[in-house]
């Protein structure tokens, strides 16, 4: 049997889009077929940059142009941004498999499934980009998701708390609004894609919730308190609502956690506002 960790590393470092998608499908099937083992003598290498194509050009988040949905260019930019999130999510899922060792088989099954579904989401969005006359890589993008992967590479509990339950969970809050706006402009094709993604992402965040709580239980930690502490440590002045309570509860959030997010969001939003102009 080949090692799952070696196979995951190949998926992670693949640069060409078609190769990453092919290896993701191939590795997921090999795991289901029982052809990959959890035996590995080598420790994971320090986290670096994952494999990605030469384009899109990556810039800091503030340098990504903001475009409205009133133009075709704006729609293309939106679909491209979401495709980039899904491409990053493939790498994040494979890194969760590769990096964290000696865990239950179900952990690896969960994150292999996530990798496979994220690849499917990327393909749906790329097809939509092609229908709109463009392709993935034609717009600039940022690397915020992977930056957090680097910051959480030391601890699977921290990774589970902050990547699926904070960054990826944001999609549960904002995607319904994007769907409504797309419906208003009559773009039912993109709506159909986003509805599939939203459905699956609830399950992905739920996987993050389940394993975060597993690690907390293993360490005799209170999961709600630990979640609040990690957010305070890693997301100063970056948490904003509104939060979709129904979707997040389906994804494993407790009411107490959601109320804590609301309080932090209001506090941080207010602190981010400039002081009033007293001369007015």
pLDDT in tens, 20-70: 999 999 999 999 999 999 988 789 999 989 999 999 988 766 666 676 777
Whole-model pTM?
A: 0.91
Identify the residue whose tokens are 């999961």: 223
Q: How far is CA 68 from the centre of its chain?
A: 23
Tokens describing residue 43? 């420790």
Q: Which domains does the chain have, with CATH numbers?
A: 2-272 (1.20.1260)
Model confidence pLDDT, tens digit, residues 139-198: 988 877 888 999 999 999 999 999 999 999 999 999 999 999 999 999 999 999 999 999
Residues in contact with 6: Cβ distance below 8 Å, sequence separation at least 6, in sequence order: 40
Q: What share of the chain is helix, strand, coil (3-state, %, to 5)?
A: 65, 0, 30
User: How far is 72 from 69, CA to CA, in rounded Å?
Assistant: 7
**pLDDT at res. 273:** 36
Contact (Cβ atoms closer than 8 angstroms) between residue 69 and residue 182: yes
């Amino acid at each position: 049997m080949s090692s799952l960790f070696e196979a995951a590393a190949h998926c992670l470092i693949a640069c060409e889009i078609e190769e990453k998608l092919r290896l993701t499908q191939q590795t997921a099937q090999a795991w289901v077929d029982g052809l990959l083992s959890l035996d590995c003598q080598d420790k994971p290498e320090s986290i670096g940059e994952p494999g990605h194509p030469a384009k899109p050009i990556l810039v800091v988040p503030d340098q990504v142009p903001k475009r409205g949905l009133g133009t075709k260019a704006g729609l293309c930019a939106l679909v491209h941004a979401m495709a980039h999130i899904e491409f990053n999510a493939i790498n994040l899922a494979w890194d969760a498999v590769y990096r964290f060792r000696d865990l239950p088989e179900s952990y690896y099954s969960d994150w292999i499934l996530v990798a496979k579904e994220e690849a499917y989401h990327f393909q749906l969005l790329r097809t939509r980009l092609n229908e709109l006359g463009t392709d993935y890589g034609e717009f600039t993008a940022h690397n915020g998701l992977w930056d957090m992967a680097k910051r959480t590479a030391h601890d699977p509990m921290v990774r589970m708390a902050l990547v699926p339950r904070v960054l990826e969970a944001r999609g549960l809050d904002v995607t319904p609004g994007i769907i409504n706006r797309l419906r208003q402009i009559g773009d039912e094709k993109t709506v159909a894609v986003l509805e599939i993604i939203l459905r699956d992402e609830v399950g992905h965040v739920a996987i993050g919730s389940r394993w975060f709580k597993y690690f907390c239980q293993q360490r005799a930690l209170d999961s709600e308190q630990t979640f609040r502490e990690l957010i305070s440590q890693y997301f100063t002045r970056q948490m904003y609502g509104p939060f979709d309570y129904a979707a997040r509860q389906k994804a494993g959030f407790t009411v107490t956690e959601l109320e804590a997010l609301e309080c932090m969001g209001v506090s941080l939003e207010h602190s981010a506002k400039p002081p009033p102009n007293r001369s007015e």
